[in-house]
């Protein structure tokens, strides 16, 4: 492609270190779409004749059919997807193919292709997140009043409802969708026509190509447009936060599926057995989601470090922008689908969850609140009295509602029979009716609200 200036060809090592075709062939659809938009614009502007443009466009369509059918050939001499397509186009169309590269460079070309790819990755994430959120809201509706222990420090804290717990993840994934939508919008500027770095002297129409490729508008600064990879970092950072959420949910499922918890039975289809211990069913998919999250975070870091020292405009380091994004996207899509399957198909052992909520004196706060409300005792003192009740219950090996009224009277004579109304886990969750609280009535409202946000029927 640049033989005019060179006395000898590249060494084998140069060819190998230079080649991006092994991974950037994933951009073939975007590359052909970009070239078709570009040549249509060149023809409209009278820069290329209609006849040449038509031949080039037909050639590009033929290449798309070939790649769809047979895959993209990998010839290191051709370096990347852009040269691979152009070389095939030359075989099909002849020397007129050489007119396609008028008023553009591989620098704006790759920036355009990659933006298109990242924009569809954002759309995919949005779609998969939507499916996961539907699964969460369905399960939350089924379990609006299933009681389970709520934890802080992984110690039993207060009873909560399973529906409430699942909707916590709904909120996280809703924010993730917002981040992907934001990344999608910001990736909406089209670099095509910025050429190598400085723009071009040809009378091109950048509005036209931008529109045809589904972008919002042409990028405003050619130096920025060819050297900017913020859109890829935005995607990876949104993927990082999303992967963190997926990993936390995976971790809870692993915990809940363990024998001491026994809260959940993961679907067989998303579990594995052990080659030596016949009784085992392992939560491998959940563990791999937790593991893959680490890799996704690593890919975000990798691209950030690649970019941080680069002067304007394009440097070849930027060729390394694609593997982290491609690999992170593949892992993220897989993790989203796996977690969706686990949420949709797991069965919850609500009896066991209730039992766990009843152990560990999870309603101690309700006792303290009752003392404040019914006996007008300052909260700090109520906390102290409740501590004495917990101690006595532990000594007798019973729950707080297993103590007798005499036990309570011995601790503090201001305690009356009415206290037993608040000591059950159902009473405890039912009482937490503040906005955003765990009470079944509030959870049902939030389920309805969540369904509305997803555009589902109520
Ligand atoms: N393969 C290159 C990349 O992925 C394409 C751009 C090459 N531009 C250049 N001036 N060498 O970044």
Any atom of ligand 1 within 6 Å of the Cβ of 80: yes
Find out whether 97 and 52 touch, Cβ atoms under 8 Å: no
Instruction: Pick the atom of ligand 1 nearest to 81's CA.
Output: 1
Mean pLDDT of 233-237: 98
CATH class belonging to 12-102: mainly alpha
CA angle centred on 368, ends 364 and 370, rounded to 5°: 115
Per DSSP, the three-state class of 189 is: strand
Inter-CA distances, 82 with 87, 258, 326, Å: 9, 51, 17
106 CA → ligand 1 middle, Å: 6
Question: Has residue 4 got a pLDDT over 90?
Answer: no
CB atoms within 10 A of CB 175: 12
Residues paired with 161 in a beta bridge: 147
Is 117 near ligand 1, meaning CB less than 6 Å away?
no
Tokens of 154: 């992984």
Residue range 59-108, pLDDT digits in tens: 999 999 999 999 999 999 999 999 999 999 999 999 999 999 999 999 99
Using the mean position of ligand 1's atoms as its centre, give its distance from the Cα of residue 103 in Å: 16
pLDDT over 90 (residue 10): no
Q: Say whether 271 sits in a helix, a strand or coil.
A: coil
- Our answer on whether the CB atom of 319 is closer than 6 Å to any ligand 1 atom is yes
How far is 428 from 65, CA to CA, in rounded Å? 64
Residue located nearest, by CA, to atom 11 of ligand 1: 316
Whole-number Å distance, alpha carbon 4 to ligand 1 midpoint, is 19
Q: For the structural domain made of 360-453, what CATH number should be given?
A: 1.10.40.30
Distance 43 CA to ligand 1 centre (A): 25
Ligand 1 centre from 110 Cα, in Å? Answer: 7
Known catalytic membership, residue 153:
yes
106 close to ligand 1 (CB < 6 Angstrom) = yes
Which residue has its alpha carbon closest to ligand 1 atom 3? 319
Give one DSSP letter per residue of 22-69, joined into a string: HHHGGGHHHHHHHHHHHHHHHHHTTSS-HHHHHHHHHHHHHHHHHHHH
Q: Which of 9-18, 304-313, 403-412 has the lowest mean pLDDT?
A: 9-18
Helix or strand or coil: residue 217?
strand
With cut-offs at 50, 70 and 90, classify the pLDDT of residue 201.
Answer: very high
Ligand 1: nearest atom to the Cα of 79: 1
Catalytic residue chosen out of the listed positions 153, 275, 347, 434:
153
Tokens 């000591």 -> residue:
423
Strands 217-218 and 264-265: unpaired
In the structure, what pLDDT confidence band is assigned to residue 375 with cuts at 50, 70 and 90? confident
List CB contacts of 138: < 8 A, sequence separation 6 or more: 344
Confidence of residue 245 (pLDDT cuts 50, 70, 90): very high
| Distance between Cα 357 and ligand 1 center (Å) | 59
78 lines ligand 1 (CB under 6 A): no
* Pocket of ligand 1 contains residue 176 by CB under 6 Å: no
Q: Which atom of ligand 1 is nearest to the CA of 318?
A: 12
Q: What is the mean pLDDT of residues 219-243?
A: 98
321 lines ligand 1 (CB under 6 A): no
To the nearest whole percent, how much of the chain has pLDDT over 70? 99
Return the ligand 1 atom nearest residue 322 CA. Answer: 4
Average per-residue pLDDT for the chain: 95
pLDDT tens by residue, 116-157: 999 999 999 999 999 999 999 999 999 999 999 999 999 999
Helices 284-307 and 322-345 pack at an angle, to 10 degrees, of: 150
pLDDT one-digit tens code per residue, 288-313? 999 999 999 999 999 999 999 999 99
The reply to whether ligand 1 has any atom less than 6 angstroms from the CB of 107 is: yes
| Residues 333-366: tens digit of each pLDDT | 999 999 999 999 999 999 999 999 998 888 899 9
CB of 229 shorter than 6 A to ligand 1: no
Q: Using 50, 70 and 90 to split pLDDT, how confident is the model at 442?
A: very high
Supply φ then ψ for residue 348, to 5 degrees. Answer: -95, 135
Among all chains, which residue has been given the structure tokens 């920036």? 111
Question: CB neighbours of 250 closer than 8 A, spacing ≥ 6?
Answer: 286, 287, 289, 290, 293, 339
pLDDT at 2: 67
Residue 37 in contact with ligand 1 by CB distance below 6 A? no
Is residue 247 part of the annotated active site? The answer reads no
Span 252-273, average pLDDT? 93
pLDDT for residue 6: 80
Specify the CATH number of the domain 107-143+150-353. Answer: 1.20.200.10
**Does the structure show a pLDDT above 70 at 1?**
no
Q: Dihedral of CA 435/440/444/450: which sign? A: positive
Which residue's C-alpha comes closest to atom 1 of ligand 1?
Answer: 80
Inform me whether the pLDDT recorded for 3 exceeds 80: no
Helices within 258-349 (DSSP H only): 284-307, 322-345
For the chain, the domains span 12-102, 107-143+150-353, 360-453
Strands 189-190 and 155-161: unpaired
Question: How far apart are alpha carbons 48 and 68 in whole angstroms?
Answer: 28
Mutate to test the pocket of ligand 1, among 1, 105, 223, 316 (most ligand atoms within 8 A of CB): 316
Count CB-CB contacts under 10 A for residue 247. 21
Least confident segment among 33-37, 227-231, 277-281: 277-281
Cα 87 to ligand 1 centroid, rounded to whole Å: 16
Cβ of residue 314 lying under 6 Å from some atom of ligand 1? yes
CA of 174 to the centre of ligand 1 (A): 36
pLDDT value of residue 386: 95
Catalytic residue among 49, 258, 274, 315: 274
C-beta of 24 in contact with ligand 1 (< 6 A):
yes
CA distances from 201 to 19, 38, 196, 206 (A): 30, 15, 12, 13
Question: Taking the CB of residue 146, how many other CB atoms lie within 10 A of it?
Answer: 25
Q: Which residue has the tokens 């369905």?
A: 138
């Amino acid at each position: 492609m640049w033989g005019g200036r060179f006395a000898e060809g590249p060494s084998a090592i140069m060819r190998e270190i230079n080649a991006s075709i092994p991974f950037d062939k994933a951009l073939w659809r975007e590359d052909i779409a970009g070239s078709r938009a570009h040549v249509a614009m060149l023809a409209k502007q009278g820069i290329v004749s209609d006849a040449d443009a038509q031949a080039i466009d037909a050639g590009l369509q033929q290449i798309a059919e070939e790649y769809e059918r047979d895959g993209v050939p990998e010839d290191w001499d051709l370096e990347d997807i852009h040269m691979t397509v152009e070389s095939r186009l030359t075989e099909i169309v002849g020397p007129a193919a050489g007119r396609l590269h008028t008023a553009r460079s591989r620098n704006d070309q790759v920036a355009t292709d990659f933006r298109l790819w990242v924009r569809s990755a954002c759309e995919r994430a949005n779609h998969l997140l939507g499916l996961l959120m539907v699964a969460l809201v369905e399960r939350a509706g089924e379990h609006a009043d299933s009681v389970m222990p709520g934890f802080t420090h992984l110690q039993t804290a207060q009873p909560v409802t399973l529906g409430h717990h699942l909707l916590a993840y709904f909120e996280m994934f809703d924010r993730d969708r917002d981040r992907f939508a934001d990344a999608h919008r910001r990736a909406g500027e089209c670099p095509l026509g910025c050429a190598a770095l400085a723009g071009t002297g040809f009378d091109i129409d950048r509005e036209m190509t931008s529109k045809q490729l589904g972008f919002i508008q042409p990028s405003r600064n050619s130096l920025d447009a060819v050297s900017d990879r913020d859109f890829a970092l935005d995607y990876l950072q949104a993927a990082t936060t999303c992967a963190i959420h997926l990993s936390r949910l995976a971790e809870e499922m692993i915990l809940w599926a363990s024998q001491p918890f026994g809260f959940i039975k993961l679907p067989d289809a998303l579990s594995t057995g052990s080659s030596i211990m016949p009784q085992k069913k392992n939560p491998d998919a959940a563990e791999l989601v937790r593991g893959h999250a680490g890799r996704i975070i690593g890919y975000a870091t990798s691209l950030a470090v690649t970019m941080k020292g680069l002067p304007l405009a394009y440097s070849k380091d930027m060729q390394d922008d694609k593997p982290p994004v491609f690999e992170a996207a593949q892992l993220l899509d897989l993790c989203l689908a796996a977690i969706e399957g686990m949420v949709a198909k797991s069965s919850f052992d609500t009896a066991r969850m209730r039992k766990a909520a009843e152990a560990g004196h999870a309603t101690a706060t309700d006792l303290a609140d009752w003392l404040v409300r019914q006996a007008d005792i300052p909260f700090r003192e109520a906390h102290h009295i409740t501590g004495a009740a917990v101690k006595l219950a532990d000594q007798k090996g019973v729950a707080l509602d297993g103590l007798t009224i005499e036990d309570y009277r011995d601790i503090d004579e201001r305690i009356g029979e009415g206290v037993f109304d608040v000591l059950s886990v159902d009473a405890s969750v039912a009482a937490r009716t503040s906005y955003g609280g765990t009470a079944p009535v509030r959870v049902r409202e939030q389920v309805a609200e969540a369904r509305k946000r997803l555009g589902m029927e109520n």
